[in-house]
Chain A
């Protein structure tokens, strides 16, 4: 008889793999990407391509020459990091800044911790925040959405809706309301902002796709969105809004503009840097929702999603001390 193979149980596997999960996230990002290409034209295409290529190159170089390990490019995580980084950049960013961002993401964000699964902070956001601090002017000069024909570097630029929202609350100046895009435009993505964050509809579709395919769970997105919405409602109730802006409108602008949807569905739910248990995830989400609203309302930057997620990333080891409810444990 030929030799039998012996291994410990179980002998069956769900067929799930890292690659499959990464692929599904990339697929879920595609609708939003298509919208940004339509809105921002060549800039969106070029920025994303450079970012993905640079992330893959840097990971390959590090694994090949520094760690002397076989390459892990086939798990698609480098592509995903590249894509997410691009989603968080203005589409008219000079190519060399994108490359520096990719370098920071892969080295500081990911490989210095030991590669996939070991990093404490979301690599794409490390890259973005690195750029935001190093190149504040370029990183906050957002192109206007002028359709596919828009060029790369020569795009017309302007401030994002979040900037107006912030100024409006700060100064109580209701004349700024006219600068805001209509709610429909905000929902469909016809507004200024980072490459991938503009179209809330596409991002929600992608997020629901991820929840349905069980790549992510509902805990983080739902808790972030609910917390932010609640914060906005309270802002409205205490009378901080200028005339001409209802609480309901403000809540919707809060949720539909800036990186809220991208952050809630794609950035905060990153496996490696989010907590392991249901309650951990909910607290994580509430924390992000609160911090982002605090930064948006009182902080120096108009948008705080990246900072909020990075700050809460640092709390993950602590949140992982929350245990799941054990079988047979009495409910408190």
Chain B
């Protein structure tokens, strides 16, 4: 009993002494800082993802405190609510920005894009991209090694084993842009989420001539320009055999989708139009569900990519 008491006492006193010492040193060497930086950092998500363009949340907080206006300063993870809180602390008006989401602009599924060779190197898109065209004949399309999945800090990306393509979980995606940088083929784009998450997008980045692109992939954009003619709002441009929908101009009329001969244009998060053709139309709306179903396999793949 006495032994226990002595050891408790000794340990306790040592701890107290150390704590006191630490406290004194912390007081002595304290750096004077604008207390608002801490307050701002408090409301930031703390993921340190760098999506804002700064080295981390603290750096963004410092930038916010220094700035005269919050224009151009945005935490993509927290979005508008977070910036409002930051604005409230600093007494500045938060600038509203449209929420964005990562979009994988390739729909070269295993059926649409036949495999022409077997890649036997490291499971890394970047290495495969530097080596050759990839396992399919499309030199622009997704390589399927999951560099983007490995880069995502929020678990918003996963590989769909059915299609061999990455799937974005829109709930989790914070549009930090890590995956955009990770993809060696610039397939992923940060696009406006759109009202109710509804948007139109060309799921292809192939700039080859129509015939070549089509030969490599059935769902490639062949640059035919039909969508451009169909569009009443000049939202669609066709540049080097590739159509692009400007999210600012698009009014979500969905005419282009019907006009596209290869099905490269997709409407996302719209309610099913006709019950007659549910397979093609309803798929994007249900995207979240299959993504959850395939979780275990995905995590395995992610680990593989990280290893």
Query: A and B: direct contact (Cβ < 8 Å)?
Result: yes
* Chain A residues within CB distance 8 Å of chain B: 3-8
Q: Given the complex of chains A and B, what is the CA–CA distance between A15 and B120 in angstroms? A: 18
> Could you list some 24 contacts between A and B, CB below 8 A?
A3-B115, A3-B116, A3-B117, A3-B118, A4-B117, A4-B118, A5-B117, A5-B118, A5-B120, A6-B117, A6-B118, A6-B119, A6-B120, A6-B121, A6-B131, A6-B132, A7-B119, A7-B120, A7-B121, A7-B131, A8-B121, A8-B122, A8-B127, A8-B131
Beyond A8-B122, A8-B127: 19 further Cβ-contacts under 8 Å? A3-B115, A3-B116, A3-B117, A4-B117, A4-B118, A5-B117, A5-B118, A5-B120, A6-B118, A6-B119, A6-B120, A6-B121, A6-B131, A6-B132, A7-B119, A7-B121, A7-B131, A8-B121, A8-B131
In the complex, chain B residues whose CB is within 8 Å of the CB of A5: 117-118, 120
In the complex, chain A residues whose CB is within 8 Å of the CB of B117: 3-6
Would you give the shortest CB distance from B238 to chain A, in whole angstroms?
33
Q: Given the complex of chains A and B, what is the CA–CA distance between A3 and B116 in angstroms? A: 6
Q: Mark B99-136, 1 if CB is under 8 A from A, else 0.
A: 00000000000000001111111100001000110000
In the complex, chain A residues whose CB is within 8 Å of the CB of B122: 8
In the complex, chain A residues whose CB is within 8 Å of the CB of B131: 6-8
Please name the residue on chain B nearest to A4 by beta carbon: B117
Q: Given the complex of chains A and B, what is the CA–CA distance between A6 and B116 in angstroms? A: 10
Would you give the shortest CB distance from B29 to chain A, in whole angstroms?
30
Would you give the shortest CB distance from A13 to chain B, in whole angstroms?
13
Q: Given the complex of chains A and B, what is the CA–CA distance between A6 and B122 in angstroms? A: 11
In the complex, chain B residues whose CB is within 8 Å of the CB of A3: 115-118
Q: Given the complex of chains A and B, what is the CA–CA distance between A29 and B267 in angstroms? A: 69
Q: Given the complex of chains A and B, what is the CA–CA distance between A4 and B116 in angstroms? A: 8
Would you give the shortest CB distance from B118 to chain A, in whole angstroms?
5
Q: Given the complex of chains A and B, what is the CA–CA distance between A8 and B115 in angstroms? A: 18
Would you give the shortest CB distance from A266 to chain B, in whole angstroms?
31
Count how many chain B residues have C-beta atoms less than 8 Å from C-beta atoms of the other chain: 11
Can you list the 3 inter-chain pairs with the closest CB atoms, starting with the nearest?
A7-B120, A7-B121, A5-B118
Would you give the shortest CB distance from A100 to chain B, in whole angstroms?
27
Please name the residue on chain B nearest to A9 by beta carbon: B131
In the complex, chain A residues whose CB is within 8 Å of the CB of B120: 5-7
Please name the residue on chain B nearest to A1 by beta carbon: B116
Q: Given the complex of chains A and B, what is the CA–CA distance between A281 and B76 in angstroms? A: 50
In the complex, chain B residues whose CB is within 8 Å of the CB of A8: 121-122, 127, 131
8 A Cβ contacts from B126-160 to A: 127, 131-132
In the complex, chain B residues whose CB is within 8 Å of the CB of A7: 119-121, 131
Would you give the shortest CB distance from B163 to chain A, in whole angstroms?
19
Q: Given the complex of chains A and B, what is the CA–CA distance between A4 and B119 in angstroms? A: 9
Q: Given the complex of chains A and B, what is the CA–CA distance between A7 and B124 in angstroms? A: 12
Would you give the shortest CB distance from A6 to chain B, in whole angstroms?
5
In the complex, chain B residues whose CB is within 8 Å of the CB of A6: 117-121, 131-132
Q: Given the complex of chains A and B, what is the CA–CA distance between A250 and B118 in angstroms? A: 65
Q: Given the complex of chains A and B, what is the CA–CA distance between A4 and B127 in angstroms? A: 18
Please name the residue on chain A nearest to B132 by beta carbon: A6
Q: Given the complex of chains A and B, what is the CA–CA distance between A6 and B120 in angstroms? A: 6
Q: Given the complex of chains A and B, what is the CA–CA distance between A4 and B117 in angstroms? A: 5
Q: Given the complex of chains A and B, what is the CA–CA distance between A5 and B131 in angstroms? A: 13
Would you give the shortest CB distance from A330 to chain B, in whole angstroms?
33
In the complex, chain A residues whose CB is within 8 Å of the CB of B119: 6-7
- Between A3, A4, A6, A8, the greatest number of chain B beta carbons within 10 A of the residue's beta carbon is seen for A6
8 A Cβ contacts from B196-220 to A: none
Would you give the shortest CB distance from A143 to chain B, in whole angstroms?
39
In the complex, chain A residues whose CB is within 8 Å of the CB of B127: 8
Would you give the shortest CB distance from B184 to chain A, in whole angstroms?
15
Would you give the shortest CB distance from B71 to chain A, in whole angstroms?
46
Please name the residue on chain A nearest to B116 by beta carbon: A3
Q: Given the complex of chains A and B, what is the CA–CA distance between A7 and B134 in angstroms? A: 10
Q: Given the complex of chains A and B, what is the CA–CA distance between A6 and B131 in angstroms? A: 9
In the complex, chain A residues whose CB is within 8 Å of the CB of B121: 6-8
In the complex, chain A residues whose CB is within 8 Å of the CB of B118: 3-6
8 A Cβ contacts from B228-254 to A: none
Please name the residue on chain B nearest to A6 by beta carbon: B117
Q: Given the complex of chains A and B, what is the CA–CA distance between A89 and B119 in angstroms? A: 49
Q: Given the complex of chains A and B, what is the CA–CA distance between A204 and B118 in angstroms? A: 49
Q: Given the complex of chains A and B, what is the CA–CA distance between A168 and B220 in angstroms? A: 87
Would you give the shortest CB distance from A4 to chain B, in whole angstroms?
5
Would you give the shortest CB distance from B135 to chain A, in whole angstroms?
8
Would you give the shortest CB distance from B91 to chain A, in whole angstroms?
50
In the complex, chain A residues whose CB is within 8 Å of the CB of B116: 3
Would you give the shortest CB distance from A63 to chain B, in whole angstroms?
15
In the complex, chain B residues whose CB is within 8 Å of the CB of A4: 117-118
Q: Given the complex of chains A and B, what is the CA–CA distance between A8 and B120 in angstroms? A: 8
Would you give the shortest CB distance from B114 to chain A, in whole angstroms?
10
In the complex, chain A residues whose CB is within 8 Å of the CB of B132: 6
Q: Given the complex of chains A and B, what is the CA–CA distance between A5 and B127 in angstroms? A: 15
Please name the residue on chain A nearest to B114 by beta carbon: A3
Q: Given the complex of chains A and B, what is the CA–CA distance between A4 and B115 in angstroms? A: 10
Q: Given the complex of chains A and B, what is the CA–CA distance between A3 and B119 in angstroms? A: 10
Q: Given the complex of chains A and B, what is the CA–CA distance between A7 and B117 in angstroms? A: 10
Would you give the shortest CB distance from B263 to chain A, in whole angstroms?
26
Would you give the shortest CB distance from A296 to chain B, in whole angstroms?
37
Q: Given the complex of chains A and B, what is the CA–CA distance between A258 and B127 in angstroms? A: 51
Would you give the shortest CB distance from A314 to chain B, in whole angstroms?
26
8 A Cβ contacts from B72-107 to A: none
Would you give the shortest CB distance from B7 to chain A, in whole angstroms?
22
Would you give the shortest CB distance from A11 to chain B, in whole angstroms?
10
Q: Given the complex of chains A and B, what is the CA–CA distance between A6 and B132 in angstroms? A: 9
Q: Given the complex of chains A and B, what is the CA–CA distance between A3 and B118 in angstroms? A: 6
